[in-house]
């Protein structure tokens, strides 16, 4: 049973650039949530996608956007990168947008220089 997968594992970008991170949910799951975990901090909720729509959003600027595909996989896009965007980006999947049972992927480590 494949768990949540994320790509790439690591990424280095320059300030002002744009980045796309990818997530494939656990088999059978249809909902994807994204979290940002800065160094030494707990994860912070960015947004959740269900039925290809953004259902909830945390306190993140519009530079952060996402997409969910018909196969339930998801992308997180960040435009105009800032140094402060350096973090571990975690994807979590669940069955249904109201499920409390979330499974996390290993994350993508983004470094902005």
Partner 1 sequence: AQSVTQLDSQVPVFEEAPVELRCNYSSSVSVYLFWYVQYPNQGLQLLLKYLSGSTLVKGINGFEAEFNKSQTSFHLRKPSVHISDTAEYFCAVSENAGGTSYGKLTFGQGTILTVHP
Structure tokens given for 37: 């975990």
Q: Among residues 17, 18, 27, 41, which is the contact residue for partner 1, using CB under 8 A?
A: 41
Which residues, in sequence order, are CB contacts of 3 under 8 Å at separation 6+?
26, 103, 105
Binding-site residue total for partner 1 (CB under 8 A)? 28
Per CB under 8 A, 36 contacts partner 1: no
Cβ–Cβ < 8 Å for 108, 6: yes
Per CB under 8 A, 20 contacts partner 1: no
Q: What character string, x for contact with partner 1 (CB under 8 A) and - otherwise, covers 49-88?
A: ------xx-x------------------------------
Q: Among residues 24, 68, 74, 102, which is the contact residue for partner 1, using CB under 8 A?
A: 102
Residue with Cβ nearer partner 1 (71 or 98): 98
Between the alpha carbon of residue 58 and those of residues 9, 36, 37, 45, 71, the distances in Å are 24, 10, 13, 5, 24
Which residues, in sequence order, are CB contacts of 25 under 8 Å at separation 6+?
4, 31, 32, 72, 73, 74, 91, 93
Binding site for partner 1 (CB under 8 A): 4, 31, 33, 35, 40-45, 48, 55-56, 58, 90, 92, 94, 97-107
């Amino acid at each position: 049973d494949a768990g949540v997968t994320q790509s790439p594992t690591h990424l280095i970008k320059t300030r002002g650039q744009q980045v796309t991170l990818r997530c494939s949910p656990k088999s059978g799951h249809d909902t994807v949530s994204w979290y940002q975990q800065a160094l030494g901090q707990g994860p912070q909720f960015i947004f959740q996608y269900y039925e290809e729509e953004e259902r909830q959003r945390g306190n993140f600027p519009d530079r952060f956007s996402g997409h969910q595909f018909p196969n339930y996989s998801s992308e997180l896009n960040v435009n105009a990168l800032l140094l402060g965007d350096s973090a571990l980006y975690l994807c979590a999947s669940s069955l249904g947008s109201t499920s409390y049972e979330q499974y996390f992927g290993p994350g993508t480590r983004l470094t902005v220089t």
